[in-house]
Amino acid sequence: MSHGLGYYLAHLISQWQHYFDGMNKVELIWLMVGLLGQSMFMMRFVVQWIHSERHQKSVIPVSFWYLSLSGGLIVLAYGIHKVEPVIILGQLPGTFVYIRNLMLIRREKESSI
């Protein structure tokens, strides 16, 4: 059962082709929406990392919470469309946390004015 890396890559590409060939345009659009949301969600870590490096300490910028909320909501919409309970249950609670953090940040800014 010793197949090389080339075999596995060819198998993966074949599976992806089969996956995409079975999609209609609406499903392809929803796939792009899901990937956009996941990309935004992933970018929050990159933004936080860069921000922390600039400050030479662990800091969470406000943009982290906006990327979390927008990416999470888009992925949640994708999960609802696909009726994927794992995605729905994984994203739904986080949206409340992201909204609450943005509320706390806004309250702090308003009280310091």
Angle at 45 between CA 30 and CA 80, to 5 degrees: 25
What CA–CA distances, in Å, run from 110 to 65, 104, 107, 113?
A: 18, 10, 5, 5
Render pLDDT for 61-84 as a digit per residue (tens, 0 to 9).
999 999 999 999 999 999 999 999
Distance CA 47, CA 101 (A): 17
Q: Tell me 39's DSSP state.
A: H
48-55 — which CB contacts under 8 Å span 24+ positions?
A: none
Whole-model pTM: value is 0.80
The pLDDT-based confidence of 1 (bands split at 50, 70, 90) is low
| Confidence check: pLDDT of 112 > 80 | yes
pLDDT at 70: 96
